[in-house]
């Protein structure tokens, strides 16, 4: 409503003019010929604006907290001489340049520009143990601009992680390499999450920071602060443009994630050229609107002290996440390609690599790490061991004093499920009342939250429709972070990515999230990352077909079951009743490296004869059968809400004297992983009359019904009307199944 103050505007103009300076095609040599005298630029931040209220309130936080955090930092690591820092920074740059050059593929620009902040983070700020990348209380780092992965690989290499040896750097982007083309948590220990698709990383980082804040509030004691780490992110212009980043950062501000510190690599270049052509908003003002503390480091190329001071300021603000906008030059050091898109995503080429070596005064062979740099970084191995040992000792104390809390904490840390947890799953009989699987799902969620300490989650503003509220817990909010119901707002995409961050924070976290099944379209990129990065997220997707009725085709999924069946490493579950819903949750919880999508009904469904958890675990199984010798006249196959219709069709056919088998194909992925013998026992090749019924796309059903069978489904969009009417009009009926079966049986 009110305009920004003129102060804000003039600073924005200053930003623009500075960036224009940075945009010179050939940067002035005095900025590039190193070693150069490092001039200290006074840190430019909101701190310099004493008139504004948020600054004042932050100031008061400063005075309370800054000394504590600052001394903690000094405790572990001392500030290094700038000449050595220069050398280390250039080592990072050239490891990136050389690896991309050898691969003749990759993105050298970002590592060259972000090397200073990378160096300061990994060498001066972050607490980690390179010999145990999974140490619980490590600071987390996320490279949201994942294409710049050589920055992270170079840092992991210098820091002493075993995952990135010199030979790995030399095999960057090659078959079998441990350092792939974008950071992958499942390939490279030390990489926390899988990034590359823009905006995912910053949202993952929000999840990591949420996890820390939750655990700290839930488990820390005044005399035992066992959870205490930061989440650092580097994101670029590309991430900033993506909607998911705005969604996630709005939540981070809402939740007051004070230990989330994001570096925005403000280099004014994206693939299509200067960001002027498509990205002229004021990012700073937007983040302030989102409730972040914002700092601007004007000289990210050589302003080490500016970067250091910004981090200290960020740490001092404990009630807000901080965005440190760091103005850098993409491809810094390359005399002919710096500050242009040509350095973004291609090798520099031998000639320009030579020119850059000369320009930055780098006399070394490719992949060389100078001895003093190597020696300097070598301290991280003992420091890391010490940090972990200290924490272990602290935790041993904790375990003694707070034995009850330690049980839950340990389960989240280790990922070991409490023994007998599965007994908590609700049980159903055919006498149990008919109910929607979304309601049955809620019974499971509430039961599981009581026995699984890492069970947390929520909905994208549809809790009362998705039926996802945990009744024994309150809301995770800024001032109640120990609670377990997460309110994501209408932000499906960020929701998925935040859950990925939670899942990958500690192995015992089991995040779930919910929306209408059709709106998986909004979050599919995050769901794919769940599958790829082996993040056990449970996607509770209700209103799973035309059965939702009047909301109409915009809300009725058609192609969604097929679309997830095609995606690798994700279980697409469509349970038919209470027992199958419990079975689906059992599978989902036990699938430590696989996310699960649960497609659940809005409409009531009866509890079916023959449904079983064991059956669900096999993905497909015989529900009922009145045949012998594995040769029924017909096999009728259904999933979810259509299984009861298939059962009715079978009853009719049996009345007419036919032998009929009913098969529930609740999860294709699990079924296809069974032995050939099992599959032949369920869907024998010799039976022609196989008919499937599912209120969704028929794509893929031929695999089960065979060339002679019939797949009944919906290959057009839905309609707005009461559900029974649509089922009738769309031919998703027992009559249609009976007719199809008879036509084949003859």
Helices and strands (H and E) in the chain: how many: 29, 22
Cβ atoms 330, 109 nearer than 8 A: yes
Cα distances (Å, whole numbers) of residue 362 to 170, 193, 340, 357, 587: 19, 33, 22, 5, 55
User: Is residue 703 a contact point for a second copy (CB under 8 A)?
Assistant: yes
Sequence-separated contacts (24+) of 271-278 with Cβ below 8 Å: 271/238, 271/341, 271/344, 271/345, 272/341, 273/341, 274/23, 275/237, 278/241
492 is catalytic: yes
Cβ atoms 682, 663 nearer than 8 A: yes
User: Is residue 697 a contact point for a second copy (CB under 8 A)?
Assistant: yes
Cβ atoms 360, 90 nearer than 8 A: yes
Strands 690-693 and 269-270, sheet pairing: unpaired
User: Is residue 23 a contact point for a second copy (CB under 8 A)?
Assistant: no
Q: Which stretch binds a second copy (CB under 8 A): 353-361, 484-492, 606-614, 634-642?
A: 484-492
User: Is residue 271 a contact point for a second copy (CB under 8 A)?
Assistant: yes
SS3 10: helix
Least Cβ distance, residue 473 to a second copy (angstroms): 14
Can you tell me which of 235, 244, 504, 537 binds a second copy, judged by CB under 8 A? 244
- Scan residues 520-579 and list those touching a second copy (CB under 8 A): 521-522, 524-525, 528-529, 531-532, 549-555, 558-559, 562-563, 565-569
**For residue 662, what are the β-bridge partners?**
624, 636
Can you tell me which of 19, 195, 231, 664 binds a second copy, judged by CB under 8 A? 195
**For residue 480, what are the β-bridge partners?**
477
Taking alpha carbons only, the member of 198, 189, 196, 181 closest to residue 100 is: 181
Between 31 and 491, CB nearer to a second copy: 491
Cβ atoms 150, 99 nearer than 8 A: yes
User: Is residue 477 a contact point for a second copy (CB under 8 A)?
Assistant: yes
SS3 636: strand
SS3 560: helix
Least Cβ distance, residue 587 to a second copy (angstroms): 19
Q: What angle do CA 102, 106, 107 make, to 5 degrees?
A: 120
User: Is residue 177 a contact point for a second copy (CB under 8 A)?
Assistant: yes
Q: Which of 313, 352, 492, 669 is catalytic?
A: 492
Least Cβ distance, residue 520 to a second copy (angstroms): 9
User: Is residue 253 a contact point for a second copy (CB under 8 A)?
Assistant: yes
Backbone angles phi, psi at 415, to 5 degrees: 80, 5
Can you tell me which of 37, 53, 350, 423 binds a second copy, judged by CB under 8 A? 53
Q: Which stretch binds a second copy (CB under 8 A): 79-87, 225-233, 280-288, 618-626?
A: 280-288
Between 632 and 709, CB nearer to a second copy: 709
Between 41 and 432, CB nearer to a second copy: 41
Cβ atoms 154, 141 nearer than 8 A: no
Between 412 and 726, CB nearer to a second copy: 726
Can you tell me which of 494, 513, 576, 636 binds a second copy, judged by CB under 8 A? 494
Backbone angles phi, psi at 88, to 5 degrees: -65, -45
User: Is residue 325 a contact point for a second copy (CB under 8 A)?
Assistant: yes
Least Cβ distance, residue 526 to a second copy (angstroms): 9
Least Cβ distance, residue 335 to a second copy (angstroms): 22
Q: Which stretch binds a second copy (CB under 8 A): 11-19, 414-422, 596-604, 674-682?
A: 11-19
Q: Which stretch binds a second copy (CB under 8 A): 79-87, 485-493, 571-579, 628-636?
A: 485-493
Least Cβ distance, residue 182 to a second copy (angstroms): 5
Can you tell me which of 31, 493, 602, 710 binds a second copy, judged by CB under 8 A? 493
- Scan residues 294-313 and list those touching a second copy (CB under 8 A): 294-296
* 718: exposed, middle or buried (Cβ count in 10 Å: 0-12, 13-18, 19+): buried
Can you tell me which of 162, 166, 656, 715 binds a second copy, judged by CB under 8 A? 715
Can you tell me which of 61, 721, 739, 745 binds a second copy, judged by CB under 8 A? 721
Task: Please give the structure tokens belonging to residue 707.
Answer: 């060339």
- Scan residues 105-144 and list those touching a second copy (CB under 8 A): 105-106
Least Cβ distance, residue 229 to a second copy (angstroms): 25
Taking alpha carbons only, the member of 674, 665, 574, 585 closest to residue 620 is: 665
Cβ atoms 533, 570 nearer than 8 A: no
Q: How many residues contact a second copy, by CB under 8 A? A: 139
Can you tell me which of 320, 380, 491, 543 binds a second copy, judged by CB under 8 A? 491
d(CA 609, CA 447): 24
Least Cβ distance, residue 731 to a second copy (angstroms): 14
Q: What's the order of all strands across the beta sheet hosting 660-664?
A: 621-625, 660-664, 634-638, 690-693, 710-712
Least Cβ distance, residue 378 to a second copy (angstroms): 29
Least Cβ distance, residue 596 to a second copy (angstroms): 16
User: Is residue 153 a contact point for a second copy (CB under 8 A)?
Assistant: no
Owner of token pair 């919880």: 589
Cα 741 from chain centroid? Answer: 45
* 484: exposed, middle or buried (Cβ count in 10 Å: 0-12, 13-18, 19+): buried
Cβ atoms 720, 554 nearer than 8 A: no
Cβ atoms 261, 202 nearer than 8 A: no
Q: Which stretch binds a second copy (CB under 8 A): 192-200, 224-232, 449-457, 588-596?
A: 192-200
Between 220 and 569, CB nearer to a second copy: 569
- 274 HSE (CA, 13 A, CB side): 10
Between 452 and 570, CB nearer to a second copy: 570
User: Is residue 280 a contact point for a second copy (CB under 8 A)?
Assistant: yes
Contacts for 684 with CB less than 8 Å, ≥ 6 apart? 630, 631
- Scan residues 341-360 and list those touching a second copy (CB under 8 A): 341
User: Is residue 11 a contact point for a second copy (CB under 8 A)?
Assistant: yes
Task: Please give the structure tokens belonging to residue 513.
Answer: 């999230």
Can you tell me which of 34, 36, 41, 52 binds a second copy, judged by CB under 8 A? 52
Q: Which stretch binds a second copy (CB under 8 A): 23-31, 232-240, 626-634, 658-666?
A: 232-240
Can you tell me which of 192, 212, 284, 544 binds a second copy, judged by CB under 8 A? 284
Cα 333 from chain centroid? Answer: 33
The widest CA-to-CA distance across the chain, in whole angstroms, is 94
Site string for a second copy, 440-469 (x = CB under 8 A): -------------------x-xxxxx----
Q: Which stretch binds a second copy (CB under 8 A): 354-362, 369-377, 643-651, 710-718?
A: 710-718
User: Is residue 498 a contact point for a second copy (CB under 8 A)?
Assistant: no
Least Cβ distance, residue 219 to a second copy (angstroms): 24
Can you tell me which of 168, 288, 633, 644 binds a second copy, judged by CB under 8 A? 288
**For residue 692, what are the β-bridge partners?**
637, 711
Taking alpha carbons only, the member of 538, 616, 543 closest to residue 584 is: 616
Between 241 and 744, CB nearer to a second copy: 241
- Scan residues 370-409 and list those touching a second copy (CB under 8 A): none
SS3 706: coil
Least Cβ distance, residue 522 to a second copy (angstroms): 5
Cβ atoms 628, 635 nearer than 8 A: no
User: Is residue 99 a contact point for a second copy (CB under 8 A)?
Assistant: no
Question: Which residues are part of the catalytic machinery?
Answer: 492
């Amino acid at each position: 409503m009110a305009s920004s103050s003129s102060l804000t505007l003039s600073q924005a103009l200053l930003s623009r003019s500075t960036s224009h300076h940075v945009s010179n095609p050939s940067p002035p040599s005095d900025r590039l010929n190193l070693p150069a005298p490092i001039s200290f630029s006074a840190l430019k931040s909101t701190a310099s604006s004493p008139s504004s209220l948020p600054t004042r309130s932050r100031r008061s936080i400063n005075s309370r907290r800054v000394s504590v955090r600052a001394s903690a930092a000094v405790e572990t690591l001392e500030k290094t001489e700038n000449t050595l820092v220069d050398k280390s920074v250039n080592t990072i740059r050239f490891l990136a340049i050389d690896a991309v050059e050898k691969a003749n593929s990759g993105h050298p620009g970002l590592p060259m520009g972000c090397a200073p902040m990378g160096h300061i983070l990994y060498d001066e700020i972050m607490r980690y143990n390179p010999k145990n990348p999974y140490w619980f209380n490590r600071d987390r780092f996320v490279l949201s601009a994942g294409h710049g992965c050589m920055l992270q690989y170079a840092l992991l290499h210098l820091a002493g992680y075993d995952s990135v040896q010199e030979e790995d750097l030399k095999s960057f982007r090659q078959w079998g390499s441990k350092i792939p083309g974008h950071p992958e948590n499942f390939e490279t220990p030390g990489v926390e999450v899988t990034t590359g698709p823009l905006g995912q990383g910053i949202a993952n980082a929000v999840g990591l920071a949420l996890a820390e804040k939750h655990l700290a509030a839930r488990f820390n004691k005044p005399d035992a602060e066992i959870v205490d780490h930061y989440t650092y992110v580097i994101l670029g212009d590309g991430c900033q443009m993506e909607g998911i980043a705005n969604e996630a950062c709005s939540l981070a501000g809402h939740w007051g994630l004070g230990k989330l510190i994001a570096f925005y690599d403000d280099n004014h270049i994206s693939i299509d050229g200067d960001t002027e052509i498509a990205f002229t908003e004021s990012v700073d003002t937007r983040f302030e609107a989102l409730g972040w503390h914002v700092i601007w480091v004007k000289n990210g190329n050589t302003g080490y002290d500016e970067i250091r001071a910004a981090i200290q300021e960020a740490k001092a603000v404990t009630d807000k996440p901080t965005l440190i906008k760091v103005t850098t030059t993409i491809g810094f050091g390359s005399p002919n390609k710096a500050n242009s898109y040509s350095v973004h995503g291609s090798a520099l080429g031998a000639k320009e690599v030579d020119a850059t070596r000369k320009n930055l005064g780098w006399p070394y062979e490719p992949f060389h790490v100078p001895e003093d740099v190597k020696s300097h970084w070598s301290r991280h191995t003992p420091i890391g061991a010490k940090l972990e040992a200290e924490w272990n000792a602290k935790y041993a104390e904790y375990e003694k004093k707070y034995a009850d809390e330690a049980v839950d904490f340990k389960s989240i840390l280790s990922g070991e499920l409490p023994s007998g947890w599965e007994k908590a799953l609700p049980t159903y009989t055919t006498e149990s009342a008919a109910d929607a699987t979304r309601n049955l799902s809620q019974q499971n969620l509430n039961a599981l939250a009581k026995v699984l300490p890492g069970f947390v989650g929520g909905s994208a503003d549809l809790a009362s429709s998705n039926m996802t509220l945990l009744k024994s817990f309150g809301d995770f909010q800024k001032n109640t972070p120990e609670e377990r119901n997460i309110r994501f707002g209408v932000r499906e995409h960020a929701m998925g990515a935040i859950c990925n961050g939670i899942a990958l924070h500690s192995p015992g976290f089991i995040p779930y999230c919910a929306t209408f099944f059709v709106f998986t379209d909004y979050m599919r990129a995050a769901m794919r990352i769940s599958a790829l990065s082996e993040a056990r997220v449970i996607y509770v997707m209700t209103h799973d077909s035309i059965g939702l009725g009047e909301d109409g085709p915009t809300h009725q999924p058609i192609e969604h079951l097929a679309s997830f069946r095609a995606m690798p490493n994700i279980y697409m579950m469509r349970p038919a009743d209470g027992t199958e819903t419990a079975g689906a949750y059992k599978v989902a919880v036990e699938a430590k490296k696989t996310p699960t999508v649960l497609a659940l009904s809005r409409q009531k469904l009866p509890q079916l004869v023959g449904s079983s958890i064991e059956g669900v675990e096999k993905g497909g199984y015989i529900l009922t059968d009145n045949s012998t010798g594995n040769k029924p006249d017909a096999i009728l196959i259904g999933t979810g809400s259509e299984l009861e219709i298939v059962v009715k069709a079978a009853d009719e056919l049996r009345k007419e004297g036919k032998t009929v088998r009913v098969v529930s194909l609740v999860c294709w992925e699990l079924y296809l992983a069974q032995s050939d013998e099992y599959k032949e026992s369920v869907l024998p090749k010799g039976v022609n009359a196989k008919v499937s019924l599912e209120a969704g796309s028929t794509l893929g059903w031929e695999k089960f019904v065979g060339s002679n069978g019939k797949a009944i489904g919906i290959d057009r969009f839905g309609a707005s009307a009461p559900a029974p009417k649509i089922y009738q009009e769309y031919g998703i009926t027992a009559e249609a199944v009976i007719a199809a079966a008879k036509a084949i049986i003859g």
